[in-house]
Amino acid sequence: MNEELLVTARANDLIDPSLQIWTWEVAMYLFLGGVTAGIMIFAAVVALMKRDETAPFAATRLALLAPIVLSLGMTTLFLDLEHKLYAFRFYTTFLVLSPMSSGACILLIIYPVSFLQILSTLRRGAPQAGEFVDRLAMGRAITDWCERYRREISLVALPAGVLLGVYTAILLSAFSARPFWNTGVLAPLFLVSGLSTAAALVALLTRDHGERAWFTRIDIVLIIVELVLVALFLINLATGSAKQIEALECCVMGGPYTFAFWVLFVGIGLLIPLVLEIMEMRGLGKPLALAAAVLVLFGGYTLRYVMVEVGQESTWTRYPTQYNAELLERLDR
Amino acid sequence: MTRYAMVIDTRTCIGCGDCVVACKTENKVPEGLNRDWIVEATRGTYPNLTTEFRSERCNHCSNPTCVTLCPTGASHTWKDTNIVLVAAEKCTGCKACIAACPYDARLVMHPDGYIDKCTFCHHRVEEGLDPACVSSCPTHCMHFGSLDDPGSIVSKLLKTRNHKVLHPGTGNEPNVYYLT
């Protein structure tokens, strides 16, 4: 017997009986941050590969989504803050060893780069907005400049996107106190998931059949790579420290999040869309591609949600008994 | 840097909870929140059981990951010591420090929303006093002092008695010691 019980009250909100500090808001931010990273990377790659003709949506309109998606993510992140009025403090200090501080800095880089990326194809991607910008002398000059230097902007957007995709994972993996997160495999896993969800977004939104087929092929490769990374992640935990093995066993191999991890994420979010996309490649049509894309986006969010939740369950400190206010009420009767 | 430590004798602690009450009174910790707590650890097989009481709190680690991971510098070490504090006016309530603490020793202050924790009663330490929990302990099982001073009570106890810290494997180098 080795039992550790709490004998005085400890029912700190969001901390006891197990951490519940981050829920859907943070998972949604990590998901949308990953999608934004994928959007910027694909928009840059298409420009660098000069695939404007074969990938018209990704070349001219995809980048428009980046600041919208990222801003939605930052909104949910703001909702998660407990001391909201002090959110400006993210921008009064820069602490290089804190991934959150670095992340705040990366977001400062992402917005201007994203706007330059948008301007470089605005006249073709959104002609009405292009006309509006052209009415201003300065807007016209900046747009001309962006169009001229589209290749150079893409060369900056590509690493910026990778940085954004990777940092959301490093943010979690830096927590040595949470054994489930404490692995470097999270970074490539989140990056590939971000790319996969962005590819799915293109497949969902483009009207060009050839482009949809191209991005579906890309997504098939990305899903296979993601499955390999998920396997590496599990192997990493299963062969890790006692705390990591415990985290894996209690959460993914028979715990409360087993269903979400295996059925919702691996099954519905990765394997089913993979099969649907392969079937589509064999000529079984557009509805399958659209269904697959929706499932990939669902899988991307589920991955973040499961990671955020399970990571909080994994801990060094666990006391089997907790303060229960109901017991005190029973005494009064 | 002055390294302050707390040394708690599990052989004389009876788990009365006075340290918990003293902390709440001294620091006006709101109802429902706790900066310290008591754990009763039972080991063995009946009838050969051993029981240990531990008064637990923030370990004011020498390698505080909560300070490293805080994005705004709100979590910081006090003056040139290992005492970890939170500056409420810099705290965004992002909760990274809560996730970073292997001891789950932090809390969200209600209703304000900034993060709060044990301060080793630095306001008392500054005046040469012991933290409130140590001062109030009826069995005198709690001791406080500087590990840099070889003559301090904590240095002497750690030199002469068997001791342990909680979860040394985290690498955080905790500074709350338990005499066994």
For residue range A110-146, what is the model confidence (pLDDT) as tens digits?
A: 999 999 999 999 999 999 999 999 999 999 999 999 9
Are A317 and B38 an interchain contact pair (Cβ–Cβ within 8 Å)?
Answer: no
**CB contacts, 8 Å: B101 with chain A:** 177
For residue range A62-113, what is the model confidence (pLDDT) as tens digits?
A: 999 999 999 999 999 999 999 999 999 999 999 999 999 999 999 999 999 9
- B105 closest CA partner among B153, B52, B76, B64: B64
- A244 closest CA partner among A171, A315, A319, A168: A315
| Minimal-distance CA residue of chain B relative to A104 | B71
For residue range B45-99, what is the model confidence (pLDDT) as tens digits?
A: 888 999 999 999 999 999 999 999 999 999 999 999 999 999 999 999 999 999 9
Per-residue pLDDT at A175 exceeds 70: yes
Judge whether A179 is closer than 8 Å to chain B, CB to CB: no
Mutation target for A interface from B104, B116, B137, B166: give the one with most A CBs within 10 A.
B104
Per-residue pLDDT at A295 exceeds 80: yes
Mean pLDDT, chain B, as a whole number? 96
Are A8 and B17 an interchain contact pair (Cβ–Cβ within 8 Å)?
Answer: yes
Cross-strand partners of B115: B108
Please tell me the distance from the alpha carbon of residue B107 to that of residue B113, in angstroms, as a whole number: 9
pLDDT of residue A311: 93
Judge whether A15 is closer than 8 Å to chain B, CB to CB: yes
Distance from CA of A298 to the nearest CA of B (A): 26
* Beta-sheet strands, E only, within chain A: 2-6
For residue range B117-144, what is the model confidence (pLDDT) as tens digits?
A: 999 999 999 999 999 999 999 999 999 9
Contacts of B162 (CB under 8 A, 6+ apart): B179, B180
pLDDT of residue A325: 64
pLDDT of residue B174: 97
For residue B69, give Cα distances in angstroms to A98, A140, B74: 4, 43, 10
Mean pLDDT, chain A, as a whole number? 92
| Minimal-distance CA residue of chain B relative to A313 | B99
Distance from CA of A269 to the nearest CA of B (A): 27
Least confident piece of the model among A200-209, A282-291, B129-138: A282-291
Question: What's the average model confidence in pLDDT over A246-266?
Answer: 88
Q: What percent of chain A has pLDDT over 70?
A: 96
Cross-strand partners of A220: none
What's the pLDDT band for A321 if we cut at 50, 70, 90? low
| Greater model confidence, A7 or A276 | A276
- B172 closest CA partner among B39, B82, B70: B82
Q: Cα–Cα–Cα angle for B125, B127, B130, nearest 5°?
A: 40
Please tell me the distance from the alpha carbon of residue A71 to that of residue A74, in angstroms, as a whole number: 5
On the 0-12 / 13-18 / 19+ scale of CB atoms within 10 A, A170 is: middle
| Minimal-distance CA residue of chain A relative to B114 | A83
Burial string for A45-66 (b: 16+ CB within 10 Å, else e) reads: bbbeeeeeeebbbbbbbbbbbb
Task: Please identify among residues 254-273 of chain A the ones whose CB lies closer than 8 Å to any CB of chain B.
Answer: none
Are B115 and A90 an interchain contact pair (Cβ–Cβ within 8 Å)?
Answer: no
The enclosing H or E element of A99 equals: helix A99-119
Residue B73 — left, alpha, or beta (φ > 0 → left; ψ -120 to 50 → alpha)?
left
| Greater model confidence, A254 or B64 | B64
Distance from CA of A300 to the nearest CA of B (A): 23
pLDDT of residue A328: 67
Are A83 and B170 an interchain contact pair (Cβ–Cβ within 8 Å)?
Answer: no
Query: What's A268's DSSP letter?
Result: I
Distance in angstroms between the alpha carbons of the first and the last residue of chain B: 28
Q: What percent of chain B has pLDDT over 70?
A: 100
Judge whether A103 is closer than 8 Å to chain B, CB to CB: yes
- A209 closest CA partner among A280, A127, A292, A118: A280
Are A7 and B69 an interchain contact pair (Cβ–Cβ within 8 Å)?
Answer: no
Helices (H), chain B: 18-27, 65-69, 96-100, 122-125, 132-136, 153-160
3-class DSSP assignment, residue B107: strand
Please tell me the distance from the alpha carbon of residue A183 to that of residue A203, in angstroms, as a whole number: 32
pLDDT of residue B93: 97
Q: Cα–Cα–Cα angle for A235, A241, A246, nearest 5°?
A: 80
Judge whether A128 is closer than 8 Å to chain B, CB to CB: no
**CB contacts, 8 Å: A93 with chain B:** 71-73, 90
Cross-strand partners of A262: none
For residue range A39-51, what is the model confidence (pLDDT) as tens digits?
A: 999 999 999 999 9
pLDDT of residue A255: 83
3-class DSSP assignment, residue A266: helix
Query: Tokens 């005198």 map to which residue?
Result: B140
What's the pLDDT band for A289 if we cut at 50, 70, 90? confident
pLDDT of residue A115: 97
Are A98 and B69 an interchain contact pair (Cβ–Cβ within 8 Å)?
Answer: yes
Q: What percent of chain B has pLDDT over 90?
A: 94
| Greater model confidence, A16 or B10 | B10
Question: What's the average model confidence in pLDDT over A161-185?
Answer: 94
Cis peptide preceding B102, ω within 30 of 0: no
Of B73, B115, B172, the CB nearest to A93: B73
Of B69, B94, B104, the CB nearest to A15: B104
Please tell me the distance from the alpha carbon of residue A91 to that of residue B72, in angstroms, as a whole number: 8
What's the pLDDT band for A327 if we cut at 50, 70, 90? low
pLDDT of residue A332: 63
Q: Are B162 and B52 in contact (CB under 8 A)?
A: no
